[in-house]
């Protein structure tokens, strides 16, 4: 039996486990930071599987894991489906346990490369009309941060994601933008939490403003350095936290 | 910054390029005028405010303009974008269809409510603000369209007006690579660096790596700039 099970594992799809974990992580992060709101109904399994690019089997496994963690509730019958259950408190440790240290470092390497390259090209290629959305996002973030209200963190987090995607889009590279969007989904929420813990919203806003100014003034080297620093600070903090976690 | 350089030895190639570009762009705007008129008919009051379902009447036209040769081969997505508040049952709404490699066009369905999504307040995009501020023909981009296609695109748009009031926008997405396919043969005939720029100076299509699509032309000595008919596009040529 043992031999057979081992042999079955050998011949199972190579990254099916990794795919389940990736889906769990993505949805758990989105729920943790409020991108998916408490009580929100998830799309149907077929739709969700299609948009995430995984099989329905993979998706079901991921939903099962999320149910066990209490982050998703499935109701049967009319009006049924899968619903988001937001945890009362965001637990970075729980999120971080899903990622090994070397994977964090590698995600950081990848994201630093993308964010830095995008910011440099954005500085070289931006017109005032490309920079305008960046300032609009930063102004909106400042307005949201100024009044403490329910859902404020989720809103800030969305605007933060939008700002970084707008920077990438200003590079005029569709591929860099697609990578930015993917990385935002994979690691954005954790980086956000890391920034919150590191310097709070004021420091985050200061870094965002510095990046936007460098892009506006056409200073590619400066824009790249600032965008890289922005990612690396947060990643370093996450790695430190992760190193301190007991398995 | 329009420099009239008169008739040079290569003026025929330049004239032909201008015609080729204008015809390609006008073809898309011609389609958009059809969508505009059909959209206005769909939202015309029938003793009640319009609802999203009224726009389903556009579908046969949108599907037809997404499939086939000619102008349709350029268009990757097309539809009507409602002014917020126009429809009684959906504050934000796009009747937007995209071509699909596997067959029939597919509808773009997005969470458009800005209170739950940071991304889809479409009233800030140039393809919306242009027509809203009265421009008869807007060419937005080239830009990375992360809202709909994830592609480097142009979005062409025209206002939809009903009884004197702006009710939304008729628009079409054209991928830069396809637009390039349509106009590059003509640019290549010009025996000198030649490229098309939008109203802001962003290069749309080019016959030289020095000024490739996405880069910026900020003016320069030795370049002639010619408007492409009355479109928000110019043909820039070096020394021709």
Tens of pLDDT, residue by residue over B147-176, are: 777 899 999 999 999 999 999 999 999 999
- Residue B68: inside a domain, yes or no? yes
Which residue in the block uniquely carries the two structure tokens 């939490």?
A: A193
- B123 to chain A, closest Cα gap in Å: 12
Number of A/B CB contacts below 8 angstroms equals 47
Do B173 and B216 belong together in one domain?
no
Do B132 and B192 belong together in one domain?
no
- A38 to chain B, closest Cα gap in Å: 12
> Does the CB of B117 have a partner CB in chain A at under 8 Å?
yes
Tokens of B146: 């992360």
**Cβ–Cβ below 8 Å for B144 and A37:** no
Tell me what pLDDT residue A1 has: 44
Do B75 and B106 belong together in one domain?
yes
For residue B120, report the phi and psi dihedrals to the nearest 5 degrees. -110, 25
Distance of CA A213 to the CA centre of its chain: 24
- Residue B7: inside a domain, yes or no? no
Helix, coil or strand: residue B132: helix
Tell me what pLDDT residue A210 has: 98
Condensed to tens digits (0 to 9), the pLDDT of residues B37-52 reads: 999 999 997 789 999 9
- Residue B16: inside a domain, yes or no? no
For residue A49, report the phi and psi dihedrals to the nearest 5 degrees. -60, -45
pTM summary value:
0.81
Q: Binning pLDDT at 50, 70 and 90, where does residue A39 land? A: confident
Do B113 and B38 belong together in one domain?
yes
Condensed to tens digits (0 to 9), the pLDDT of residues A92-145 reads: 787 788 889 999 999 999 999 999 999 999 999 999 989 999 999 999 999 998
A10 versus B171: which is more confidently predicted? B171
Q: What is the CATH number of the domain that holds B43?
A: 3.30.450.20
> Does the CB of A16 have a partner CB in chain B at under 8 Å?
no
The domain locations on chain A are 2-84, 92-243
Condensed to tens digits (0 to 9), the pLDDT of residues B11-32 reads: 899 999 999 999 999 999 999 9
Tell me what pLDDT residue B79 has: 97
Fold for the domain defined by A92-243: 1.20.120
Do B203 and B115 belong together in one domain?
no
**Cβ–Cβ below 8 Å for B144 and A129:** no
Cα–Cα dist B85/B87, whole Å: 6
CATH 1.10.3720.10 fits A2-84, yes or no: no
Do B155 and B210 belong together in one domain?
no
> Does the CB of B150 have a partner CB in chain A at under 8 Å?
yes
Max mean pLDDT among B38-47, B95-104, B131-140 falls in B131-140
Q: Binning pLDDT at 50, 70 and 90, where does residue B8 land? A: low
Do B173 and B224 belong together in one domain?
no
Q: Which of B116, B142, B150 sits opposite A178 (nearest CB)?
A: B150
Range of the domain at B115: 22-178
Condensed to tens digits (0 to 9), the pLDDT of residues A59-78 reads: 898 998 888 888 888 888 77
Condensed to tens digits (0 to 9), the pLDDT of residues B185-204 reads: 999 999 999 999 999 999 99
Do B158 and B214 belong together in one domain?
no
> Does the CB of A178 have a partner CB in chain B at under 8 Å?
yes
- Residue B12: inside a domain, yes or no? no
Tell me what pLDDT residue A2 has: 47
Do B36 and B155 belong together in one domain?
yes
- Residue B11: inside a domain, yes or no? no
- Count the helix, strand and coil residues of chain A and give each as a percent rounded to the nearest 5: 75, 5, 25
Give the mean pLDDT of chain B.
Answer: 90
Do B34 and B103 belong together in one domain?
yes
Q: Binning pLDDT at 50, 70 and 90, where does residue B78 land? A: very high
Give me the interface pTM, i.e. the ipTM.
Answer: 0.85
pLDDT at A5 over 60: no
Do B69 and B128 belong together in one domain?
yes
Q: Which of residues 120-139 of A touch B (CB under 8 A)?
A: 125, 127, 129-130, 133, 136
- A16 to chain B, closest Cα gap in Å: 26
DSSP for B196-233? EEETTSBEEEESSGGG-TT-B----TTEEEEE-TTSSE
Condensed to tens digits (0 to 9), the pLDDT of residues A145-159 reads: 888 887 788 788 888
pLDDT at B56 over 90: yes
Cα–Cα dist B165/B86, whole Å: 11
Reference A61, options A26, A23, A5, A30; nearest CA is: A23
**Cβ–Cβ below 8 Å for B150 and A177:** yes
Tell me what pLDDT residue B113 has: 58
Do B207 and B105 belong together in one domain?
no
Cα–Cα dist A206/A139, whole Å: 12
DSSP for B60-76? HHHHHHHSSSTHHHHEE
Once rounded to an integer, what is the mean pLDDT over residues A212-233?
Answer: 97
> Does the CB of A169 have a partner CB in chain B at under 8 Å?
yes
Answer whether A170's CB lies under 8 Å from A205's CB: no
> Does the CB of B221 have a partner CB in chain A at under 8 Å?
no
A48 versus B128: which is more confidently predicted? B128
Reference A188, options B87, A196, A139; nearest CA is: A196
B137 versus A193: which is more confidently predicted? B137
**Cβ–Cβ below 8 Å for A172 and B118:** no
pLDDT at A161 over 80: yes
Number of structural domains chain B divides into: 2
Give the mean pLDDT of chain A.
Answer: 85
Find the distance separating the first CA and the last CA of chain B, reported in whole Å: 16
- Residue B2: inside a domain, yes or no? no
């Amino acid at each position: 039996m043992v031999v057979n099970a081992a042999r079955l594992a050998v011949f199972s799809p190579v990254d099916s486990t990794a795919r389940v974990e990736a889906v769990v992580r993505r949805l758990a992060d989105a729920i943790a930071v409020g991108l998916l709101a408490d009580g929100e109904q998830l799309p149907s399994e077929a739709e969700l599987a299609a948009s995430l690019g995984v099989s329905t089997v993979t998706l079901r496994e991921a939903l099962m894991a999320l149910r066990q963690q209490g982050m998703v509730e499935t109701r049967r019958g009319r009006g049924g489906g899968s619903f988001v259950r937001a945890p009362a408190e965001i637990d970075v440790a729980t999120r971080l346990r899903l990622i090994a240290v070397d994977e964090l470092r590698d995600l950081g390497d990848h994201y630093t490369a993308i964010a830095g390259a995008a910011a440099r090209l954005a500085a070289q290629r931006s017109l005032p009309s490309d920079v305008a959305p960046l300032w609009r996002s930063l102004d909106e973030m400042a307005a949201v941060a100024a009044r403490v209200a329910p859902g404020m963190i989720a809103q800030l987090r969305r605007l933060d994601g939008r700002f970084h995607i707008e920077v990438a889009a200003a590079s005029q590279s569709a591929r860099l933008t697609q990578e930015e969007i993917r990385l935002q989904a994979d690691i954005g929420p954790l980086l956000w939490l890391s920034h919150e813990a590191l310097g709070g919203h004021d420091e985050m806003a200061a870094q965002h403003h510095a990046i936007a100014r460098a892009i506006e003034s056409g200073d590619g080297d400066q824009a790249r350095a600032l965008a890289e620093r922005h990612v690396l600070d947060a990643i370093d903090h996450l790695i430190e936290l992760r190193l301190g976690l007991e398995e | 910054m329009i420099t009239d350089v008169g008739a040079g030895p290569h003026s025929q190639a330049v004239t032909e390029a201008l015609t080729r570009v204008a015809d390609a762009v006008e073809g898309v705007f011609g389609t958009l005028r059809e969508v505009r008129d059909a959209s206005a008919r769909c939202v015309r009051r029938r003793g009640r405010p319009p609802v999203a379902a009224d726009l389903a009447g556009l579908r046969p036209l949108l599907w037809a303009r997404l499939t086939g040769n000619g102008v349709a081969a350029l268009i990757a997505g097309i539809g009507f974008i409602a002014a917020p508040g126009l429809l009684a049952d959906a504050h934000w709404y796009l009747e937007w269809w995209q071509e699909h490699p596997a067959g029939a066009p597919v509808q773009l369905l997005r969470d458009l409510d800005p209170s739950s999504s940071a991304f889809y307040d479409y009233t800030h995009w140039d393809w919306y603000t242009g027509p809203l501020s009265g421009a008869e023909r807007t060419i937005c981009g080239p830009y990375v369209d992360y809202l709909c296609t994830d592609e480097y695109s142009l979005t062409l748009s025209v206002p939809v007006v009903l009884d004197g009031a702006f009710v939304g926008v008729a628009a079409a997405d054209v991928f830069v690579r396809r637009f390039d396919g349509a106009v590059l043969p003509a640019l290549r005939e010009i025996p000198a660096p030649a490229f098309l720029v939008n109203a802001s100076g962003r290069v749309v299509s080019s016959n030289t790596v020095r000024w490739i699509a996405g880069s910026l032309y900020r003016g320069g000595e030795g370049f002639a700039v010619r408007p492409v008919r009355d479109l928000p596009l110019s043909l820039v040529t070096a020394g021709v």
